[in-house]
Each structure stands twice: as structure tokens, then as C-alpha cells.
Chains A and B, each alone.
Chain A
Amino acid sequence: MAEAGTSRVREAGGAPVTALRHRVRLGSVGAVGLALLAILVAAGALAPWIVPYDPEVTTGDPFEPPSRAHLLGTNDVGQDLLSELIYGVRISLTIGFLAAVVAISIGTVIGMVAGYFGGWVDAALMRLVDVVLVVPFLPLMLLLAAYLGPSFWNIILVIGILVWARPARVIRAQVLSLTSLDFIDAARALGASPGRILRRHVLPGVLSLSLAQFILAASNAILIEASLSFLGLGDPTAKSWGSTLYYAQVRSAFLSGTWKWWVLPPGLLITAAVLGFAFTGFALEETLNPRLRR
């Protein structure tokens, strides 16, 4: 279902990607995505120098509306919201990045092993992929998040172990087309071990595809993190955009009118980050995925 971007990307498959192929110049889409990401990354990297206040310190009264001193007002304990959002770039992007690393590492290894060895190994691993793809995503995520408990690393782990299946499938297909090539046969004939062939010959062939999948997984992960944090299953002491929204929700932001500066900005930032990753990833996948090229 189209909820929180969790399973919807899975359902839609690569459709949006290939849809763009028709007459939309991919370069410009990718450029917009990259520009969005560059701005966010720069803001995150420069956070200590550009924030007006330390977001961990009470610098105003609780629930202050926007003013010259606090451009976006203050949160429930008098911390500057603008500074909190700028630091939030770090947490949200880091979680997106690391969760994608976990997912793509699992996905790449499984995809490569399945594609290279074929036979029952392939069959078994692909059944596993099927299982993960069919088990209802959000309920499983709720179960796992509640079981592991809310912490930075657990969130990464939960997202990572739930998002690897689609990349695994895409990478396996790529490996299948690679292994039919001559140089792999040659390496095999020369007595190279499977481990060596996978590392030296197959991995370079799938890396670029993994990169595209990685970026799509990151955009997914940012949305999932925000949803989990909002439901109170994230790490409430980390200043991510999701946790900013969580506090806004539990401290009555939409009743007291503070939502205009407390709820709108973090939501727009989440959308910008997700869109940035999505555009970049779609453009990359289009250029890199041989199956999408004719």
C-alpha cells in the first residue's frame, strides 16, 4: 500500500525509472536530485558553523513563536528549532545512508552468490527473497522496531534487514548476464576460486548497479525512519526530523497553532531529501542498468 513510502516503491518496481526514459531528459532530473542532496549535505557538514544556537541547549522559552532571535521559534524545551533542523540533516541522512549500506551489502552479497552459483543455492536464496517481499512490510517493521527497542543503530538495522530483497533480485539478474560472458569462463578455466572470481570479476560488474539501488534504498530509508520516529518507535533523544515531528505531535502542535513553524519545515525537509535521493537514483539506474537500456 502506498503508506509512508514503505512498500509502495516495492510495488511500483522500477516503473517510475523507466517511465522517465520517454522524452524526459534524464540529465536534468539527476541534476535536480544531486543539487538537492548537495545543499542538504553541505548544510549538514557545515552545521556547527551555520547554526545560530547549539540545538542541545535551552536558549529561549519553551514554545516561542518565530522571532528575530529564533527564526523558526523554539521547541518544547526552549531549544532553537532552526538549529535542530539543520543538525537533523546529519541524523536523517546518516540513518538513510547507513541503512542503505546494510541493505545493499546484504542485497549485493545474496544477489551475487545466487546469480553466480545458480542451481539450488539460487533457488533457495530467491525463495527467501520472495518471502521477504511478500511478508507484510509495515506490520513486520513495527514488530521488529518494538522488539529491538528505539535506538539509532536498531533503526538502521530494522530498515536494513527489510529493504535488501529488491536490490538482491536486481543484482542477481545482472550477475546472470555477466557470468555468460567469456572472461568469466576464462577465469574459471584458469582455476580461479569462486571467491576470487566473485571479487575480481563479478563485483566490479555489479558495483555501479548497486550504487543506483543504494541511492533508492536511502530515499526509502529516510521515509521509514521518519515514520518510525513519528510513531514513537525511533530514538527520541536523536535530533532527527522524525523525532522533531514526534515532539510536535505529542506537545499539541496542531492544536496550539505552533504547527506552522514546528511541523511544516521538517516535513518539507524530509520531502526534499527523499526527492533528492529518488531523482538521483532513478537517473543513475536508468544510465547504469543494462536491462533498462535497449
Chain B
Amino acid sequence: MLWRFFAAKGVQYALVLLFAVTLNFALPRMMPGSPLVFLAGEDVGFMTEAQRAQLYSAFGLDRPVWRQYAIYLGNLARGDLGHSFQQGRPVVEIILSRLRWTVLLVGISLLLATLIGIAWGTAAAWRRGRPLDLASLGGAMLLESTPSFWLAMIFIAVFAAGRGWFPVFGAMTPGAGLSGPAWIFDVAWHLVLPLATLTLVTIPGMFLIMRYSLLTVLGEQYISTARSKGVAERRIMFRHAMRNALLPVSTVFMLNLGYIVSGATVIETVFSYPGLGRLLFEAVLARDYPVLQGTFFIVTVSVILANIAADLVYPLIDPRVRHAR
């Protein structure tokens, strides 16, 4: 039974990967416009035919499409994501330098949002049907409906441009050459606003799931049994209900781990935060095929890995699933 399950999942993920890799290759090439100006700079109009040809061949763009695809797959297999058209740097190097900022921002916000969501969801479920619960529910739905970029704009207008409490752009003070605690403080100071925005918009999802699964568990037979036996409500909540209710939350948490890498394009853009999401957006605008492909590839792989992790871990932590098998 189990191996069939994993075989099916494996096929699914392989398909996703193939789809992403092919799309990756095809889409940029279907985009209108030539990458020439990014290869050569703004005065490209003055170049002769031979000079253009030299550039195209230097970047392998003169080969037939199927050859380019084969080369692309081969390089991918060897972990070579090519060089950025725009910057000339290896794509792997660019992605790595951006990755840490994204992991910092999205990772911390996911952790914070999960913890806050669990606490808030539990509080609401504890007081289910009461004003606190209803207000929480309304608040969560409202937050869920708020455009994240708009929230970010307001934060910048008030706290950065207005009050000047926080920096306006970037992940650290440029060229300050700080180290040790000063550097950590500087990075943290730059992180506050984007982190706050991202956390705020991630909380509602976590809250709603926590509250929902708690209420579902509380409705189940064994809880009623415990209740009829006279077990204290507080004990039921924390000993029995919460343990089971945390399962769906942890699944969502793990799936979201995959999105850590894809970053938060919109929020990173508003705060000029040098993460992967912003890199992707810049690459789209600049037609930087290798960077586009590389980023999209990394993002897809990480999402797939997170899915696999969730698939593997879920049966281990959920006794009901384990027994069913």
C-alpha cells in the first residue's frame, strides 16, 4: 500500500518538475523582444551584423532551439545554471547571495506567523462563539482580504518616510562595513518593516486553520467521552485537543516552507529587499533568461521538496493515518 502511494507521488512530482523545467525553457524564448540590449548595452543599434552574430554565438543563442534545450537540460543535470545575461555572474552565485535574505525574511515571518496563529486560534476556539471569537474571525478575514503591497506601502509611508524610524530600502546599510553585534542590529533594523508586513498577512491563514482544526477535534467522540468523564475543560483543550489539532497546522507549515524560497516578490519589491522574489521580478523585466530559469527552477524544486517532506512526515505524526495503513 505504502509503496504505491509513494510511487504515485513520485510520478506526480517528476511531472511537476518536468513541466516547470520545460516551461522554464520555453516561456522566456516565446516572449517578444530580443535580449540583445541586455547582452550588449544601450548602443546596440550601432553594431554591425557580424558583431551581433558574435554576441549571439557567445551566448549560444544562435543554435537551433532543440540544441539549446538539450544543452540546458545537460547543464541543469550538472547543477550549472549558466551566467546572467545582464551581470555576467554565474546564476548560482546570484541566487545564493539573494537566497539568504529571502530565507531570513520569509523563514522568520513563517515561524512568527505560525506561533501567533496557533496561540490566537486556540484562544478563539477556547472562547468559541463568544465576542472574542467573532471579532478574531472578522479580523482575520479582513487581514486576509487586505492587499499585502498596500499594507507595505502604508508602513513605509508612516514608519519609514514619515517618522523615519526604519530604513526605506535594502537589507543592510550600504558600505557601512559593520561587523559583530552592530551588523546584526543593522540587519534586524532593516528587517523590521518587511517582516512585520509579511507576518501580518501570513497570520490569518494559520489562525483559521488552527481554530478550525481545534473545533473539529473538540467535536469528536473521544472528547465528548472525556468531558462526560468529568475531565477539566482546560486539560481537554491542552492535553487532548491541541495535540491533534496541531497536525494540519504543521502540514501547512511544511508546505509553506517550500515557498520560503520563492520569497515574497511583492513585499520585497516595495521594500527593495534583495531577496529571490525580487530577483525573479527584475529578471522578468530584464529578459534575463538564465536568471529567470534558474530562479524558477530553484523555487519549483524547493516546493516539491517541501511537499515530499510533508508526505513523509504526515503518516509518522498522525496516528490515525498510521493505523489506517
List A residues at the B interface (Cβ < 8 Å): 1-5, 7-8, 11-12, 15-16, 18-20, 22-24, 127, 130-131, 134-136, 138-140, 142-144, 146-147, 149, 219, 223, 226-227, 230-231, 245, 249, 253-255, 259, 263-264, 266-267, 270-271, 274-275, 278-279
Decide: A15 and B208 in contact? CB cutoff 8 A: yes
List of A residues within 8 angstroms of B146 by Cβ: 267, 270-271
Listed A/B pairs (8) with beta-carbon separation below 8 Å: A3-B266, A24-B137, A135-B23, A138-B266, A142-B280, A223-B145, A245-B149, A266-B150
Measured CB to CB, the closest approach of chain B to A194, in angstroms, equals: 27
Decide: A2 and B209 in contact? CB cutoff 8 A: no
Interface string of B191-220 (1 = CB under 8 A from A): 000000010011111001101110110010
Contact of B285 among A18, A146, A275 (CB under 8 A): A146
Decide: B150 and A267 in contact? CB cutoff 8 A: yes
Interface string of B278-302 (1 = CB under 8 A from A): 0011001100000010011001100
Decide: B145 and A146 in contact? CB cutoff 8 A: no
Given the interface pairs A127-B12, A275-B145, the reply to whether A267 lies near B212 with Cβ below 8 Å is no
CB nearest neighbor in B for A23: B129
B30, B110, B157, B303 pick with most chain A CB within 10 angstroms: B157
Decide: A278 and B144 in contact? CB cutoff 8 A: yes
**Extra inter-chain contacts (6) besides given A227-B266, A270-B146, A278-B145, CB under 8 Å:** A4-B147, A16-B141, A24-B137, A135-B16, A231-B266, A264-B154
Measured CB to CB, the closest approach of chain B to A8, in angstroms, equals: 5
Decide: A249 and B128 in contact? CB cutoff 8 A: no
Contact of B205 among A8, A274, A278 (CB under 8 A): A8
Measured CB to CB, the closest approach of chain A to B234, in angstroms, equals: 19
Decide: A19 and B266 in contact? CB cutoff 8 A: no
Measured CB to CB, the closest approach of chain A to B196, in angstroms, equals: 13
Q: Verify if B156 is at the interface (C-beta below 8 Å from A).
A: yes
**Segment of B60-68, B172-180, B251-259 engaged in the interface with chain A:** B251-259
Decide: A139 and B280 in contact? CB cutoff 8 A: yes
Given the interface pairs A1-B264, A24-B137, A135-B300, the reply to whether A12 lies near B129 with Cβ below 8 Å is no
Decide: A131 and B16 in contact? CB cutoff 8 A: yes
Decide: A254 and B153 in contact? CB cutoff 8 A: yes
Does more than half of chain A's interface fall in helix, strand or loop, or is it mixed?
A: helix
Bound Cα distance from A8 to B146, whole angstroms: 12
Given the interface pairs A24-B134, A259-B154, A263-B157, the reply to whether A147 lies near B262 with Cβ below 8 Å is no
Bound Cα distance from A103 to B256, whole angstroms: 24
Bound Cα distance from A265 to B281, whole angstroms: 27
List of A residues within 8 angstroms of B129 by Cβ: 22-24
Decide: B156 and A11 in contact? CB cutoff 8 A: no
Q: Verify if B15 is at the interface (C-beta below 8 Å from A).
A: yes
Bound Cα distance from A135 to B269, whole angstroms: 21
Contact of B304 among A12, A134, A231 (CB under 8 A): A134
Contact of B296 among A139, A254, A263, A270 (CB under 8 A): A139
Q: Verify if B39 is at the interface (C-beta below 8 Å from A).
A: no
Measured CB to CB, the closest approach of chain A to B279, in angstroms, equals: 10
List of A residues within 8 angstroms of B303 by Cβ: 134-136
Please give me the 8 A-B residue pairs with the lowest Cβ-Cβ distance, nearest first: A254-B157, A19-B212, A23-B129, A2-B202, A267-B150, A1-B259, A274-B145, A275-B145
List of B residues within 8 angstroms of A227 by Cβ: 147-149, 266
Bound Cα distance from A16 to B211, whole angstroms: 9
Decide: B147 and A270 in contact? CB cutoff 8 A: yes
List which B137-176 residues lie within 8 A (CB) of chain A.
137, 140-142, 144-151, 153-154, 156-157, 161
Decide: A1 and B292 in contact? CB cutoff 8 A: no
List of A residues within 8 angstroms of B50 by Cβ: none
Q: Verify if B122 is at the interface (C-beta below 8 Å from A).
A: no
Decide: B209 and A231 in contact? CB cutoff 8 A: no
Q: Verify if B277 is at the interface (C-beta below 8 Å from A).
A: yes
Bound Cα distance from A223 to B201, whole angstroms: 13
Q: Verify if B267 is at the interface (C-beta below 8 Å from A).
A: yes
Contact of A147 among B16, B30, B208, B280 (CB under 8 A): B30
Contact of A4 among B31, B266, B284, B307 (CB under 8 A): B266
Decide: B205 and A12 in contact? CB cutoff 8 A: yes
Bound Cα distance from A263 to B270, whole angstroms: 14
List of B residues within 8 angstroms of A146 by Cβ: 31, 284-285
Decide: A142 and B281 in contact? CB cutoff 8 A: yes
Decide: B145 and A219 in contact? CB cutoff 8 A: yes
Decide: B148 and A18 in contact? CB cutoff 8 A: no
Q: Verify if B265 is at the interface (C-beta below 8 Å from A).
A: yes
List of A residues within 8 angstroms of B12 by Cβ: 127, 130-131, 134
Bound Cα distance from A226 to B262, whole angstroms: 20
Bound Cα distance from A203 to B205, whole angstroms: 32
Given the interface pairs A4-B266, A142-B280, the reply to whether A267 lies near B209 with Cβ below 8 Å is no
Measured CB to CB, the closest approach of chain B to A124, in angstroms, equals: 10
Contact of A254 among B144, B156, B205 (CB under 8 A): B156
Given the interface pairs A134-B307, A270-B147, the reply to whether A3 lies near B134 with Cβ below 8 Å is no
Bound Cα distance from A130 to B129, whole angstroms: 36
Bound Cα distance from A6 to B48, whole angstroms: 46
CB nearest neighbor in B for A142: B284
Decide: A230 and B266 in contact? CB cutoff 8 A: yes
Measured CB to CB, the closest approach of chain A to B104, in angstroms, equals: 15
Bound Cα distance from A138 to B269, whole angstroms: 13
